[in-house]
Amino acid sequence: MSRFWNEKTRNIEPYVAGEQPKPGQKVIKLNTNENPYPASPKVKDAMLEVEIPTMARYPETSSQIVREELAKALGLKPEQVFCGNGSDEVLAFSFQAFFEQGEGKKPLLVPDISYSFYPVYADLYNIPLKKIPLKDDFSIDVSAFCEEEQGGVAFANPNAPTSLLLDLSDVEKILKANPNHVVLVDEAYAAFSGQTARDLLPKYKNLLVTGTLSKSHSLAGVRLGFAVGDEELIEGLCRIRDSFNSYPVDCIAQKVAATAVAEKEWVDENVRKICATRDRIAVALRERGWNVLDSKTNFLFASPVTVTAESVYTKLREKGILVRYFNKPRISEYLRISIGTDEEMDALVGAIDAIAEGK
Ligand SMILES: Cc1ncc(COP(=O)(O)O)c(C=O)c1O
């Protein structure tokens, strides 16, 4: 605390990211939903092609080469695509662009358990927020998002950390019930779910779908997120970007990201492997008495049931395996476990067995 901090800085509760290992520390890292497989070798080639004189210049502001590749891959126009420094930044811009700020304004609706950055951004930008409790089975309460139109809606689908997918027909109900406000569907994990709300874009001008290359495309360290939607929504995001930082994506990230998006077969194969490992480990944990939610993501949300989640988290950490534990109401008996390679996941299951045997 410093006397120079303003009121916002004093009072904000910042987002807490998953633990990052110290340089040189060897761990099995299953706590931030990264991709355990590297991006295609062509991505490295692309990175090395960036010329030193190019680095002397500011990058192209809109990440045009990435937008063009994304548009091609997703069957959209480049004007329907916005790129930013990770989808975290794209979400922050979206909150600023589309949800009303200030006391007395209609609140933004979010699920009570969802990506924990949403309440942080709402607080940072003075956006009134109403949290809609998930149902007892952790699914999104669709009817509560459809009651009386408020100041917009934001949710992750599949949701995090629950890993559960809301069917597209339910997403559509929410869009229909909120025609005058933006419905933001955060699809950070959609590649692992076999479904995307992008299919609804031709029908709904109030739909904004965000995505990221951090998970499916193995580029968490590069920071490239995107939003797709009606051209006027994208223009709104550009207005906010250009009021904050005209160059959010650097020239190397643009080249790397555009190449990674073009490497569709490589990405699809990694996603397929991750989903197969996910389903195998879900079975293994259920065989051990764990309650594992039906994940459509690259992580499992699972409760050990007979012992506390916190004790398992701590013991795994002692064994050099990092998973995510949220000491929060309703989910404090669950662990969020990112899907690693088969070897890493076998080591996880082995460690869980050892812990159960008191080792
Ligand atoms: C639901 C959700 N949205 C967005 C993000 C942010 O992803 P990034 O900023 O790496 O694109 C994450 C990261 O874990 C996430 O879980």
What does the buried/exposed string (b/e) look like for 245-282 if buried means 16 or more CB atoms within 10 Å of the residue's CB? eeebbbbbbbbbbbbbbbbeebbeebbebbbebbeebb
Q: Does 2 reside within a domain?
A: no
Is any atom of ligand 1 closer than 6 Å to the C-beta of 151? Answer: no
- Distance from residue 359's CA to the centre of ligand 1 (Å): 35
Asked whether residue 238 falls in the same domain as residue 135, the answer is: yes
Q: Does 13 reside within a domain?
A: no
* CATH assignment at residue 297: 3.90.1150.10
Asked whether residue 201 falls in the same domain as residue 305, the answer is: no
Asked whether residue 33 falls in the same domain as residue 181, the answer is: no
Name the domain boundary from 227, 262, 297.
262
Is any atom of ligand 1 closer than 6 Å to the C-beta of 154? Answer: no
Asked if 218 contacts 257 with a C-beta cutoff of 8 angstroms, the reply is no
Residue 359's pLDDT is 86
- Distance from residue 357's CA to the centre of ligand 1 (Å): 35
Q: Does 245 reside within a domain?
A: yes
Asked whether residue 308 falls in the same domain as residue 325, the answer is: yes
Domain that holds residue 96: 41-262
Q: Does 8 reside within a domain?
A: no
Asked whether residue 197 falls in the same domain as residue 171, the answer is: yes
Would you write out the chain's pLDDT as a tens digit for each of its 359 residues?
999 999 999 999 999 998 899 898 899 999 999 999 999 999 999 999 999 999 999 999 999 999 999 999 999 999 999 999 999 999 999 999 999 999 999 999 999 999 999 999 999 999 999 999 999 999 999 999 999 999 999 999 999 999 999 999 999 999 999 999 999 999 999 999 999 999 999 999 999 999 999 999 999 999 999 999 999 999 999 999 999 999 999 999 999 999 999 999 999 999 999 999 999 999 999 999 999 999 999 999 999 989 999 999 999 999 999 999 999 999 999 999 999 999 999 999 999 999 999 98
Query: Rounded to whole angstroms, what are the CA distances from 148 to 37, 144, 180, 194, 200?
Result: 44, 8, 12, 31, 22
Asked whether residue 150 falls in the same domain as residue 233, the answer is: yes
Helices and strands, counts by H and E, the chain? 13, 13
- Distance from residue 287's CA to the centre of ligand 1 (Å): 30
What does the buried/exposed string (b/e) look like for 317-338 if buried means 16 or more CB atoms within 10 Å of the residue's CB? eebebbbbbbeeeebeebbbbb
**β partners of residue 291:** 303
What pTM was computed for the model? 0.97
Asked if 222 contacts 258 with a C-beta cutoff of 8 angstroms, the reply is no
For ligand 1, atom 2, the nearest C-alpha belongs to 188
What is the edge-to-edge ordering of all strands in the sheet holding 153-156?
81-84, 225-229, 207-212, 183-186, 153-156, 108-111, 129-132
Is any atom of ligand 1 closer than 6 Å to the C-beta of 214? Answer: yes
Asked if 333 contacts 310 with a C-beta cutoff of 8 angstroms, the reply is no
Asked whether residue 157 falls in the same domain as residue 242, the answer is: yes
Q: Does 6 reside within a domain?
A: no
Q: Does 102 reside within a domain?
A: yes
Is any atom of ligand 1 closer than 6 Å to the C-beta of 152? Answer: no
Asked whether residue 59 falls in the same domain as residue 83, the answer is: yes
- Distance from residue 222's CA to the centre of ligand 1 (Å): 13
Name the domain boundary from 247, 262, 277.
262
Q: How many domains does the chain have?
A: 2
Question: Closest ligand 1 atom to the C-alpha of 85?
Answer: 9
Backbone phi and psi for residue 325, each to the nearest 5 degrees, phi listed first: -125, 130
* CATH assignment at residue 192: 3.40.640.10
Cα separation of 346 and 319, whole Å?
Answer: 14
- Distance from residue 153's CA to the centre of ligand 1 (Å): 17
Name the domain boundary from 262, 279, 309.
262
Is any atom of ligand 1 closer than 6 Å to the C-beta of 187? Answer: no
Name the packing angle between helices 342-356 and 264-287 (round to 10°).
20
Asked whether residue 182 falls in the same domain as residue 292, the answer is: no
Asked whether residue 317 falls in the same domain as residue 202, the answer is: no
Question: Closest ligand 1 atom to the C-alpha of 91?
Answer: 4
Asked whether residue 289 falls in the same domain as residue 248, the answer is: no
Question: Closest ligand 1 atom to the C-alpha of 159?
Answer: 1
Q: Does 10 reside within a domain?
A: no
Is any atom of ligand 1 closer than 6 Å to the C-beta of 84? Answer: no
- Give residue 189's Cα distance to chain centre: 6
Asked whether residue 218 falls in the same domain as residue 102, the answer is: yes
Is any atom of ligand 1 closer than 6 Å to the C-beta of 196? Answer: no
Q: Does 100 reside within a domain?
A: yes
